[in-house]
């Protein structure tokens, strides 16, 4: 797979001819909402073997080989070059694909108010071949140790057909909000905790969950050690029952980071106790905040770099958003929330309002500025092939266990193509 960014005057015919492929192949790969009207700045995934490099002034075979992590000999062989001949500026070189890295991948999947809509199930079918785990959101704990169960039956045939296993996602959500008091009870009341663990064990056995995933958020800071003790107890039990145990962690950059989301999450302890942890490296740009990239590469790197000082790389899973936000400007605190949109919808909006797509190379994220029919200015930050490939490169560089997507249901076909192209997904 090669990533190409649309320029002024480009057509699918021209792009297909340039790369020796077809209009139909490009259209199918990208599920283009706008095949007859490409957007300047739109990133396309081109289904060809290998990658391409346009020779620029100052390039050398050695420099290009270092840039792509391949040998000079491979570049020479695949392009029929002579090592002694000068490079021709403007010539397009084919770059061989690197070896694929094996990783695990998880897709969180949340039913709508009426269950799993047809769209969510279609997105689940598209994603399942490239997922190790489905994680239905969520089994919500109650104050007596019982669990409110989500509907998962519609997912069973999709998981079975694709060798995707179920991850039992358990939260301290109460009335759609993470609840510290509920967490306190579960972590400190011995009788309730025993009932809670027994219920998890029963449901996991009945439904064939193979990983028990705790997403306990906004706990009281004083329950940090209680959470660690609970995880030790849960892990010992579920390991005996043949399950792995995982957790979701807030994106911290130090052990002493303040704030209710962070203080009860002890990276070092989780790294020692559980089998792996998903770090929620997204939501810097969020629905109630000012417009910015949802998962800018710099802050993501900072969180993961800190995590590696406390948790083995083999236990770290990078969280990744499958969505962006559309903000109405000017942003003021207390404004109506920004609207979550898929990457496909972002492109449709660019077409509708004749806006170009620009790219922030510091954040490694695309954005769109447009004005709607009522004269209101908007800014969209979203994901595209370039931004997701930057995260894939970081995942490889840091040698992490894998990636976890929040959440299935928002269309981003380029992600699944690139994931399959860059990695071998571990199936269990």
Domain with residue 261: its CATH number is 3.20.20.80
| Range with lowest mean pLDDT among 58-67, 137-146, 171-180 | 58-67
pLDDT at position 406 is 97
Query: Last residue of some domain: 67, 95, 123?
Result: 95
Instruction: Give the whole-number percent of the chain exceeding pLDDT 70.
Output: 100
pLDDT at 115: 83
Read off the pLDDT band of 34 (50, 70, 90). confident
pLDDT beyond 80 at 306? yes
Q: Among 72-76, 106-110, 240-244, 295-299, whose mean pLDDT is lowest?
A: 72-76
Overall number of domains in the chain:
2
My answer on whether 178 and 215 are in the same domain is: yes
Distance of CA 119 to the CA centre of its chain: 19
What average pLDDT does this structure show over 66-95?
87
- CB burial of 129-155 (b: ≥16 within 10 Å; e: otherwise) equals ebbbbbbbbbbbbbeebebeebebebb
The mean per-residue pLDDT over the stretch 80-99 comes to 86
Mean pLDDT of 101-112: 94
- pLDDT tens-digit profile of 260-280? 999 999 999 999 999 999 999
Residue 52 has a pLDDT of 84
Residue 49 has pLDDT above 80, yes or no: no
One domain, residues 271 and 136: yes
Span 216-227, mean pLDDT?
98
Q: Two tokens at 271?
A: 């790294």
Q: Same domain, yes or no, for 380 and 407? A: yes
Same domain, 85 and 132: no
Q: Domain of 24: which CATH number?
A: 3.10.350.10
Catalytic site positions: 217
Instruction: Tell me which residue of 378, 268, 283, 354 sits closest to 324, measured CA to CA.
Output: 283
Which pLDDT score, from 0 to 100, does residue 113 have? 66
Same-domain check for residues 295 and 408: yes
Structure-derived torsion over alpha carbons of residues 308, 230, 131, 344, reported in degrees to the nearest 10: -80
Same-domain check for residues 195 and 275: yes
Among 19, 85, 71, residue whose Cα is nearest residue 48: 19
Last residue of a domain, one of 39, 72, 95: 95
Whether 175 and 252 map to the same domain: the answer is yes
pLDDT, residue 1, reads 81
What does each C-alpha distance from 170 to 150, 227, 260 come to in angstroms? 10, 14, 19
- 108 and 167 fall within a common domain: yes
- Torsions phi, psi of 306, nearest 5? -65, -45
**Whole-number pLDDT of residue 124:** 95
Are 59 and 124 contained in the same domain? no
Residues 332 and 196 in one domain: yes
pLDDT-based confidence at residue 116 (cuts at 50, 70, 90): confident
Question: Contact, 245 vs 274, CB < 8 A?
Answer: yes
Name the residue range of residue 373's domain.
101-425
Model confidence at 84, pLDDT cuts 50, 70, 90, reads confident
Could you tell me if 189 and 314 lie in one domain? yes
What's the chain's average pLDDT? 95
Considering the domain architecture, whether residues 76 and 51 belong to the same structural domain is answered as yes
383 pLDDT exceeds 90? yes
Last residue in a domain, options 70, 95, 120: 95
Model pLDDT, residue 313: 98
Range 134-156 average pLDDT: 95
Residue 226 has pLDDT above 90, yes or no: yes
Cβ partners under 8 Å of residue 181, min gap 6: none
pLDDT of residue 132: 98
pLDDT of residue 404: 98
179 vs 83, residue with greater confidence: 179
pLDDT tens-digit profile of 8-30? 999 999 999 988 899 999 999 99
% of the chain beyond a pLDDT of 90: 85
């Amino acid at each position: 797979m090669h990533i190409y960014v649309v320029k002024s005057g480009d057509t699918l015919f021209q792009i297909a001819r340039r790369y020796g492929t077809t209009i139909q192949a490009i259209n199918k790969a990208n599920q283009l909402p706008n095949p007859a009207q490409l957007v300047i700045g739109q990133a396309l995934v081109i289904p060809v073997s290998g990658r391409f490099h346009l020779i620029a002034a100052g390039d050398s075979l050695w420099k290009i080989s270092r840039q792509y992590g391949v040998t000079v000999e491979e570049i020479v062989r695949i392009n029929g070059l002579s090592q002694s001949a000068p490079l021709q500026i403007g010539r397009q070189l084919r770059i061989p694909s690197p070896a694929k890295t094996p990783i695990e991948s998880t897709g969180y999947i949340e039913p709508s108010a009426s269950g799993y809509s047809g769209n969510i199930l279609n997105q689940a079918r598209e994603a399942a071949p490239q997922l190790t785990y489905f994680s239905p959101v969520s089994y919500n704990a109650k104050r007596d140790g019982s669990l409110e169960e989500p509907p998962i039956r519609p997912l069973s045939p999709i998981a079975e057909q694709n060798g995707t296993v179920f991850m039992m996602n358990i939260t301290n959500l109460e009335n759609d909000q993470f609840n510290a008091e509920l967490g306190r009870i579960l972590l400190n009341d011995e009788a309730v905790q025993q009932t809670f663990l027994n219920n998890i064990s029963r449901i996991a056995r009945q439904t064939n969950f193979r990983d028990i995933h705790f997403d306990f958020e906004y706990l009281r800071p004083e329950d940090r050690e209680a959470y660690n003790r609970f995880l030790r107890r849960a892990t010992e039990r579920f390991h005996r029952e043949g399950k792995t145990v995982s957790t979701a962690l807030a994106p911290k950059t130090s052990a002493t980071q303040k704030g209710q989301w962070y203080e009860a999450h002890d990276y070092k302890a989780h790294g020692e106790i559980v089998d792996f942890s998903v770090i929620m490296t997204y939501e810097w740009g969020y629905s109630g905040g000012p417009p910015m990239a949802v998962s800018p590469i710099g802050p993501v790197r900072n969180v993961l770099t800190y995590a590696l000082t406390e948790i083995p790389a083999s236990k770290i899973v990078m969280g990744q958003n499958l969505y962006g936000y559309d903000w109405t400007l000017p942003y003021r605190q207390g404004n109506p929330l920004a609207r979550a949109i898929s990457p496909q919808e972002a492109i449709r909006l660019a077409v509708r309002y004749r806006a170009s797509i620009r790219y922030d190379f510091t954040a490694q994220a695309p954005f769109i500025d447009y004005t709607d029919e009522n004269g209101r200015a908007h800014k969209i930050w979203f994901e595209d092939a370039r931004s997701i490939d930057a995260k894939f490169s970081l995942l490889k560089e840091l040698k992490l266990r894998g990636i976890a997507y929040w959440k299935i249901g928002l269309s981003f076909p380029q992600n699944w193509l690139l994931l399959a192209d860059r990695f071998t997904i571990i199936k269990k």
